[in-house]
């Protein structure tokens, strides 16, 4: 039988080509997000900006679409003040928001014939949602002046990886397979082998290309790791990554020690904040914390 599958288009040759690909593509959203938006639109007379914000903050791709779109409005100074979704929605207005983001394409439809890729991207999004919750909680505990800004940065922390799963799933699968086959490999090194650059480089390039607020870019940039707000984001991302498959990863004790230092709290208090199942608590309390001394956070 002849192969009737269309030939796979070649991967973009360099970083600029990747930026062009992502810039011209329609960002899909989660099916659940599309459903919630439709329900809200049907009750538009009772929907508030806060309601819309709550929907957007559960979906990293819709969040980046909103932030990128808002850059076409108003003066540069006004746009630079939009560093969270609530402000963006307020600037757009409820009805214009629904007109702009009506009938979005969904991730599930886009990757419906590629179940392995669909599972991969949903796992990454689940991880970013968890990271965002952690970042929000810790920013609130630190009395941060703009808690949502920190949570949004954590939600968007793996944007480049999400886009890779959506638009070049074969490459994303290749990267994951290599990392799974050899646990000694570093993610950035494998990404460079497959793509020609690490995803962190693409992430920052996307931030610049889409003119995202400087503060959000800083919060996602590991070179600013000395800043407490950046530590907040990165520690949330790290803990979400290490705990997404359970609480046995050997890196978790170091994560806990760094979070305790950031928040100036005990292990018991941290575990209470994380709201973990009671049966896990005894083992986590007794975990070796020797690495806490002299090791705050490392990118």
Residues 6+ apart with CB under 8 A from 97: 52, 66, 89
For 178, the token pair is: 């290599």
The torsion angles phi and psi of 29, rounded to 5 degrees, stand at: -125, 170
For the residues 183-195, what does the mean pLDDT come to? Answer: 91
Look at residue 184 and tell me if it is in a domain: no
Per-residue pLDDT band at 240 (split at 50, 70, 90): very high
Look at residue 83 and tell me if it is in a domain: yes
For 43, the token pair is: 């009750």
Look at residue 97 and tell me if it is in a domain: yes
For residue 81, the model assigns a pLDDT of: 63
For residue 235, the model assigns a pLDDT of: 95
Per-residue pLDDT band at 242 (split at 50, 70, 90): very high
For the residues 10-24, what does the mean pLDDT come to? Answer: 86
Please tell me the distance from the alpha carbon of residue 292 to that of residue 97, in angstroms, as a whole number. 46
Q: 25 to each of 20, 156, 202, how far by Cα in Å? A: 9, 18, 16
Q: Is the dihedral of CA 160, 166, 169, 174 positive or negative?
A: positive
Per-residue pLDDT band at 217 (split at 50, 70, 90): confident
Q: What percent of the chain has pLDDT over 90?
A: 60
Higher pLDDT, 127 or 210: 127
| Domains: count for the chain | 1
Look at residue 62 and tell me if it is in a domain: yes
Look at residue 245 and tell me if it is in a domain: no
Q: 299 to each of 98, 129, 193, 238, how far by Cα in Å? A: 39, 20, 20, 9
Q: 176 to each of 10, 198, 231, how far by Cα in Å? A: 19, 14, 26
Residues 6+ apart with CB under 8 A from 129: 58, 155
Q: What is the pTM of this model?
A: 0.87
Q: Which of 118-127, 244-253, 272-281 has the lowest mean pLDDT?
A: 272-281
> What CATH number should be reported for the domain holding residue 73?
1.10.3210.10
Look at residue 167 and tell me if it is in a domain: no
Look at residue 41 and tell me if it is in a domain: yes
C-alpha R_g of the chain: 20
Look at residue 47 and tell me if it is in a domain: yes
Residue 38 domain boundaries: 15-107
């Amino acid at each position: 039988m002849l192969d009737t599958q269309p030939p796979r288009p070649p991967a973009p040759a360099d970083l600029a080509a990747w930026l062009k690909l992502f810039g011209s593509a329609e960002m899909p959203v989660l099916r659940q997000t599309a459903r919630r938006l439709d329900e809200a639109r049907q009750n538009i007379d009772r929907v508030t900006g806060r309601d819309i914000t709550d929907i957007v903050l559960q979906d990293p791709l819709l969040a980046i679409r909103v932030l990128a779109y808002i850059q076409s409005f108003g003066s540069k100074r006004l746009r630079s003040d939009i560093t969270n979704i609530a402000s963006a929605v307020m600037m757009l207005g409820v009805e214009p928001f629904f007109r702009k983001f009506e009938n979005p394409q969904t991730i599930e439809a886009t990757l419906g014939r590629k179940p392995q890729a669909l599972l991969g991207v949903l796992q990454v999004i689940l991880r970013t949602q968890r990271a965002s919750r952690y970042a929000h909680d810790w920013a609130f505990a630190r009395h941060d002046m703009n808690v949502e800004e920190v949570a949004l940065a954590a939600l968007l922390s793996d944007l480049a990886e999400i886009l890779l799963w959506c638009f070049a799933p074969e490459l994303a699968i290749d990267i994951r397979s290599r990392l799974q086959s050899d646990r000694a490999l570093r993610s950035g090194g494998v990404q460079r082998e497959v793509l020609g650059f690490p995803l962190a480089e693409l992430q920052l390039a996307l931030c610049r290309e889409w003119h995202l607020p400087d503060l959000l870019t800083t919060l996602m940039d590991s070179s600013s790791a000395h800043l407490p707000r950046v530590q907040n984001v990165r520690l949330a991302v790290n803990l979400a990554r290490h705990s997404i498959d359970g609480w046995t990863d050997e890196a978790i004790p170091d994560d806990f020690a760094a979070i305790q230092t950031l928040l100036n709290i005990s292990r018991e208090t941290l575990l209470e904040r994380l709201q973990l199942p009671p049966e896990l608590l005894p083992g986590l309390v007794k975990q070796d914390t020797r690495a806490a001394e002299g090791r705050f956070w490392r990118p």
